[in-house]
């Protein structure tokens, strides 16, 4: 465990990480999760439903975005609640892929309860892809 | 076709027990870039006080998906799968899932709303273990886009 609640302040960055996604990542996630919607691996299907390209599964983005917080905590059992809003799709280019950047900041501290709300900024390029991405943790 | 508002409050049948395998957790961990030893190494997980490897926080989607499939298959729900977009997702945990857990999910439809031609359905899936104890509640809002 890295952060005792006394040394944390609202706005502190507790973790950040970059995740390079490729089409391989999407196929791996499809198999692991059982979500085989073809918009996540077939360009022709993605185009036929009007998408700008093959998209990462929203749940893959949500899943990786919490990992820096999980590593910072050391123990995933300290995660009490995790929520996101899917605001913009992540297009994964067949050659260049896409890089998802995650910055985790303290959004709120509750010393009495020993809890903190960690707010995630999750972006690709200059644009955020998740909204209201919040992790409630026990410290 | 809009979502049928009469499905609000409906509780579906609990799913058949799902036995969480150690290799499944490792596979899912690798897929979401989880590198914490407690996700991958049984010895590390046991040293941290867990019975076996610990699933990443979004793993409950695997159980929840089974219940969402039930919901989409409800004949009178009126949810056109080809127009469904995932809007929001939330997990509220009592404890993390570990390998060896036998989990059951039960979905209840919390709300149905219509906004500017789009319909939204929010569904709560309560995941319990073999002892009937609460593990996690997974809440999804699905948006059904308006017809073009």
Residue with tokens 């899932």: B97
Q: How far apart are CA A14 and CA A8, in angstroms?
A: 9
pLDDT of residue B83: 81
Give the strand pairing for B134-144 and B84-93.
antiparallel
pLDDT of residue B116: 83
Q: How far apart are CA B123 and CA B113, in angstroms?
A: 12
**Which chain B positions have a beta carbon within 8 Å of A62's beta carbon?**
58, 89
Are A56 and A92 in contact, with CB atoms under 8 Å apart?
Answer: yes
CA torsion, ordered A84, B84, B71, B92, to nearest 10 deg: 0
* Residue A78: CA count within 13 A, CB half-sphere: 24
Instruction: Check whether B2 has a pLDDT greater than 90.
Output: no
- Predicted TM-score of the model (pTM): 0.95
Give the ranges where chain B is alpha helix by DSSP (H).
22-31, 37-40, 42-47, 61-73
pLDDT of residue B49: 96
A77/B95 touch (CB, cutoff 8 Å), yes or no: yes
pLDDT of residue B1: 63
User: B77-133, pLDDT tens digit by residue?
Assistant: 988 877 888 999 999 999 999 999 999 999 999 999 988 888 999 999 999 999 999
Q: Which of A27, A30, A33, A68 to mutate to test the interface with B (most CBs of B within 10 A)?
A: A33
Q: How far apart are CA B96 and CA A129, in angstroms?
A: 26
B57/A49 touch (CB, cutoff 8 Å), yes or no: no
- Residue A80, number of CB atoms within 10 A of its CB: 16
pLDDT of residue A11: 96
User: B51-86, pLDDT tens digit by residue?
Assistant: 999 999 999 999 999 999 999 999 999 888 778 889
pLDDT of residue B112: 95
pLDDT of residue B78: 87
Q: How far apart are CA A30 and CA A33, in angstroms?
A: 5
DSSP-assigned letter for residue A30:
H
Distance of CA A119 to the CA centre of its chain: 11
Ranges under pLDDT 50 in chain A: 1
Which residues 13-72 on chain A approach chain B with CB closer than 8 angstroms? 19, 25, 28-29, 31-35, 49, 58-60, 62-64, 66-67, 70-71
A82/B90 touch (CB, cutoff 8 Å), yes or no: yes
A83/B90 touch (CB, cutoff 8 Å), yes or no: yes
Residue with tokens 């490792």: B26
Q: Which residues have C-beta within 8 Å of that of residue A88, sequence separation ≥ 6?
A: A127, A128, A129
DSSP E strands in A22-78: the ranges are: none
Please, is B120 exposed, middle or buried when counting C-beta atoms within 10 Å of its C-beta (0-12, 13-18, 19+)?
A: middle
């Amino acid at each position: 465990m890295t952060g005792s609640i006394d040394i944390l302040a609202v706005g502190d960055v507790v973790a950040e990480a970059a995740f390079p996604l490729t089409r391989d990542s999407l196929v791996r996630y499809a198999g692991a999760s059982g979500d085989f919607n073809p918009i996540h691996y077939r360009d022709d299907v993605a185009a036929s439903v009007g998408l700008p390209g093959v998209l990462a599964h929203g749940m893959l983005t949500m899943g990786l975005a919490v990992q820096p917080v999980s590593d910072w905590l050391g123990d995933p059992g300290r995660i009490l609640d995790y929520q996101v809003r899917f605001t913009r799709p992540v297009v994964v280019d067949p050659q260049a892929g896409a890089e998802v950047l995650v910055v985790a900041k303290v959004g709120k501290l509750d010393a009495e309860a020993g809890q903190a709300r960690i707010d995630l900024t999750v972006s690709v390029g200059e644009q955020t892809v998740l909204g209201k991405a919040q992790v409630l943790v026990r410290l | 076709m809009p979502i049928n508002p009469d499905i609000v409050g409906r509780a579906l049948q609990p799913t058949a027990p799902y036995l969480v395998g150690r290799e499944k957790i490792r596979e899912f961990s690798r897929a979401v870039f989880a590198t914490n030893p407690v996700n991958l190494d049984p010895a590390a997980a046991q040293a941290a006080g867990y019975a076996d490897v610990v699933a990443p926080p979004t793993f409950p989607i695997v159980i929840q998906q089974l219940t969402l499939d039930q919901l989409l298959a409800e004949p009178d729900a009126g949810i056109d799968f080809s127009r469904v977009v995932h809007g929001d997702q939330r997990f509220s945990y009592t404890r993390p899932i570990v390998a060896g857990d036998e989990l059951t999910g039960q979905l209840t439809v919390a709300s149905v709303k219509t906004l500017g031609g789009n319909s939204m359905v929010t569904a709560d899936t309560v995941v319990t273990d073999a002892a009937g104890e609460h593990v996690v509640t997974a809440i999804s809002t699905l948006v059904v886009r308006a017809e073009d």
